Amino acid sequence: MPQISVVIPAYNAARWIAETIESVLVQTFQDFEIIVVDDGSTDETAEAVTKFKRVKCIHQENSGLSSARNTGIRAAMGEYIAFIDADDLWLHDKLDAQMTRLKQTRFAWVYSDAFAFDGESHTPLFIFSQMRKQHEGEVLQSLLLEDFIPMPTPILKRHIFDEVGFFTEDTKLHSAEDWDMWLRTAARYPVGFVKRPLAMYRVHPTSMIQSALPSVLYNANLNVIELAVSREPSRLANLKNRAVSRSSVRIGQMCVRRNDLHRARGMFAQAIRLSPSHVSTYAYWLGTFAGRRLTQGYVKLLLWLRRKHRDCKSASPSL
C-alpha cells in the first residue's frame, strides 16, 4: 500500500491538469498513489489524465468539488491523504518536507506556506504568509478568525476523516468547504506547519473563488463560522463577532477589486459594528468614498504596511 494518497478533484480542467499531475510525479518522496476524480467534465480532462499510467481516474456525474474530494478519500489506500486541485502545483520536495515534519512532531496533519501566481503569465502574485499569519499547534481559535491554510498544502492521516467526517456537500458552504474541514479537524488535532512555500496556487478568472459572487462567499463564510461556534461554544463563542468582522473586511476588499464600492462600504461598516476596535477597517470604509482607483490604491497600501509589519516582527530576534 502507498503511504500517501494524492487526491485531485477535476472539472473541465484539461487546460491545467497535466501540469498538475507532473508536479506530483516529480516529487522527491515517491511512496504515493494519485487519484483523479473527474467530476463530470465535458472537455478533454479524461483524455489528458489517461496519458499518465500511474494515475487512477474515477469518473462520476457532476456533483461538486466536495463530492469529488470525498470520492477520492473513499478510494484512497494510503495512510495519509494529500489534496491538490487540478489547476494548482507542488514544488518538487513538498511531500518530503511535510512527511519529515510529521515524523518530527507526531502531528496527525500538516500544512505549509504557498505561492499564488497568475494562471496566464505564471507571474508570482504573493505568498500566503504575507497576507495572513499562519500558526502551528492548537490553532482552532486563530483558524476561526481567518482561514490561513492554503488548500494545495495539507496532508492528513486517513483516520481523521473517519472521526471528523468528510468534506461537507451542503451548497450553503460553497467555496468554503475546506475551511469548514480544517476547523473540524483543528478542534481535535493540533497541526504541524512547514514555514516555506511548498505549493503554488493558480489565480485565474474561471477559478471558483474568482468567479463567485461576493454575497455567496460571505454567506458561505458566515455559515462556516456559525457551525464552528455551535460545535465548540465554550472555545469559540467569544470570537464570533470578530470572525464575522474579519470575513466582512475580506469580502469588502473583494468588492473594491470588482469596483462595487457601495457593497464594499456596507461590508466595512458591518465589520466596524462588530469589531469597533479594529482601526484599519475605518480607513477601508472611508476609502470607499474616494473612488475606485484611490480606494484600491489605499487598500493595497494598507495590506503592504500590514505585511511589512509582520515581516519585521518575524525577523526580530526573540528575547
CATH, residue 228 = 1.25.40
For 12-63, write each residue's pLDDT tens digit.
999 999 999 999 999 999 999 999 999 999 999 999 999 999 999 999 999 9
> Residue 314 has what pLDDT?
52
On the question of pLDDT at 295 being above 90, the answer is: no
Give residue 267's region: left, alpha or beta (phi > 0; psi -120 to 50): alpha
Highest mean pLDDT: which range of 182-186, 300-304, 314-318: 182-186
Of the candidates 170, 191, 206, which is a domain's last residue?
Answer: 206
Residue 146: half-sphere exposure toward Cβ, Cα within 13 Å: 12
Q: Could you tell me if 6 and 75 are in contact, meaning their C-beta atoms sit under 8 angstroms apart?
A: no
Do residues 235 and 110 both lie within one domain? no
Do residues 281 and 296 both lie within one domain? yes
On the question of pLDDT at 317 being above 50, the answer is: no
Do residues 38 and 138 both lie within one domain? yes
C-alpha cell at 118: 497568475
Lowest mean pLDDT among 85-94, 163-172, 299-308: 299-308
> Residue 246 has what pLDDT?
94
Of the candidates 165, 182, 206, which is a domain's last residue?
Answer: 206
Average pLDDT over every residue of 197-222 = 84
Contacts of 286 (CB under 8 A, 6+ apart): none
> Residue 98 has what pLDDT?
98
Domain residues for 267?
A: 213-315
Q: For residues 183 and 7, what is the distance between their CA atoms, to the nearest angstrom?
A: 20
Structural domain total, the chain: 2
Do residues 69 and 171 both lie within one domain? yes
Mean pLDDT score of the chain: 90
On the question of pLDDT at 293 being above 70, the answer is: no
Of the candidates 206, 227, 259, which is a domain's last residue?
Answer: 206
Q: Could you tell me if 81 and 73 are in contact, meaning their C-beta atoms sit under 8 angstroms apart?
A: yes
Per the document, the length of the chain is: 319
Angle at 11 between CA 84 and CA 255, to 5 degrees: 80
284 confidence band (pLDDT: 50, 70, 90):
confident
Average pLDDT over every residue of 235-242 = 97
